[in-house]
Structures are given as structure tokens and as C-alpha cells.
Amino acid sequence: MTSIEAIRDDFTFLDEWEDRYRYVIELGEALPDFPTAAQTDANKVPGCVSQVWLLTEFGNGNDPEITYTGTSDAHIVRGLVAILLAAFSGKHASEIMATDAEALLRDLGLDEHLTPQRSNGLRSMVRRIKRDAELALAKAG
């Protein structure tokens, strides 16, 4: 999977938003296949216009590492899922809680170039990821 740093670097080289959108779609296409059996209501992210599923795996310990896999039925949204996975998957719960997702999206310019529906869906995904991290820390404590 592409790192969030590589994605940030790639965004700086792409001047046109059409090129950035194509890149976002390519990121989504590079996601590993998401198991059809995991496309359940329990894994579905509410608040997204497109269908989005996130599967969460928790590691052990007081500050567990959390791994996410995800997908969407929409190409651009699947790419947005890939960006969030690059930012959050494989991180410890405390790192996830400390990450300023709004700043990340601002740095990439996504906050000003997405439709309001996609922006709301992206925030719903971030809320779900942060909630998972919060629950993991609460269970450990």
C-alpha cells in the first residue's frame, strides 16, 4: 500500500485537479480485494452517500495497533478510502487519536475540491476510525 507521505508528495506534483482525481481513482484500484462476506451492515460506514465498508482488526496490548481494510462501490470514494487507510491503518490507537485528519485533508486540498456529500462521507469514515481507536484504548485501560 502507498504511504500517506508518498500520496502527499504525489499530490504536490499534480497541478490539475483532474489529474489528482485520476490519481485518487488509481489509489482505490490498487486496494486489495475486500471480502464480499465482510460487506455487512456491521462494517458499513453510516453517513456516506456511496456504500463504504471498513473492516477493523485490533492488535494486542494497552495501545493496540489497528489495521483497516476497506472498499466502496464508487471509484473516487474507494480512492478516498485508500488515502485514509494509508494515513491510519497499521498505526497504534494513540497515534490514530493524535492524527489531525482535517489538517491532512487540507494539506491534500481535498477539503476544497470534494462535493459536500463526499466531504461528509469522508468525515464519517474518519469518525468511524477514531471511534475504533477510542474503543481500543478504553478496553485496554
Query: Which residues form the catalytic set?
Result: 48
Gyration radius from the chain CA atoms: 15
Q: Is residue 47 a contact partner of residue 54, using CB atoms and an 8 Å limit?
A: no
CB half-sphere exposure, 38, CA atoms < 13 A: 16
List, in sequence order, every beta strand (DSSP E) within 1-141: 52-58, 65-72, 91-92
d(CA 121, CA 119): 5
Q: Is residue 53 a contact partner of residue 24, using CB atoms and an 8 Å limit?
A: no
Q: Is residue 43 a contact partner of residue 55, using CB atoms and an 8 Å limit?
A: yes
